[in-house]
Amino acid sequence: MSPDRRRILVCDDEPQILRALKVILREAGFEAVPAETAEEALDRAAVHPPDAAILDLVLPDGDGVEVCRQIRGWSQMPIIVLSAVGEEEAKVRALEAGADDYVTKPFGARELVARLEAALRRVGGRVDEPRITAEGLEIDLAAHTVTRDGAEVHLTPIEFRLLEALARNRGRLMTHRALLVEVWGPEYADDVTVLRGHVANLRRKIEPADGHRYVRTDPGVGYRFAA
C-alpha cells in the first residue's frame, strides 16, 4: 500500500458493505481501515488515527452516533455517517454529535467519494484564508464583500455572516440549529423560519437564475455550501 494514501476508517457490521467500501476507497486512492463494531472502530481510531471515518449508524455493540461523539471529543477528523436510517431525527442526532455529513444507503460510490474529499478539503484548508472562491463567486472574508462574475453583490450583515458560516464549512452539511446558533446566537436555536427566510434572500442575491446553485438543501435537516 502506498504511504501517500490517506487512511479512512470504515465501520459497518455488514461484510458486503465493508468489501464494497474497500474497493470504492482503493479505486479513489484511499486506504480503508475496516472495523465491524463500535469498540473496534474506537480502538483503531485511537491507536493509529486515520485521516477520516465513515461510520454506520447501527452497530452490534453500540450506536454510531456515540462513536462519532467520542471521536469528536479528541479529533477533528472528518466523519461521514453512512446508514440505512434515513429519518430526519437520526440525521440531526449524528450531525449534532459532530458528524460532517450523512449519506443514506443505498449510496452512489461517486457521491460518497465526492463528499469524503470535500470534508477532507475543509479540514485541510487554511482557517485564515482571506478569500473563498467557487464557480464565479468570490467571498472576501476580511473586507466583508461578495462578488459574482466580477460584479459586487450587496448583502446585509446577517446574510454575509450566514454565507460565511456556510462557505467556511463548504461541503459539510450544517444543521438548522448549528447555523442559527452561529449566526444569530443561542436564543434563536429553534427559529427555523428565520433561517429559511434569510437563506431564500441569500440565494436570490448570489445565485443566477439559470446558473450554479451554491447553497444546497437537505430537507428538514439543514444546508451545505456546494464547493
Which of left, alpha, beta for 150 (phi over 0: left; psi -120 to 50: alpha)?
Answer: left
Residues 136 and 111 in one domain: no
* Shared domain check, 164 and 97: no
Distance separating alpha carbons of residues 7 and 9, to the nearest angstrom: 7
Helix (H, G, I), strand (E, B) or coil at 66: helix
In a domain, residue 1? The reply is no
Task: For residue 146, list its beta bridge partners.
Answer: 139, 153
Are 88 and 108 in a shared domain? yes
Reported pTM: 0.74
What SS3 state is found at 48? coil
Contact 223, 174 (CB under 8 A): yes
The tens digit of pLDDT for each residue in 123-179 reads: 765 445 678 888 889 999 888 899 988 899 999 999 999 999 998 888 888 999 999
- Domain hosting residue 58, numbered range: 6-124
CB of 101 closer than 8 Å to CB of 89: no
pLDDT tens readout for residues 17-33:
999 999 999 999 999 99
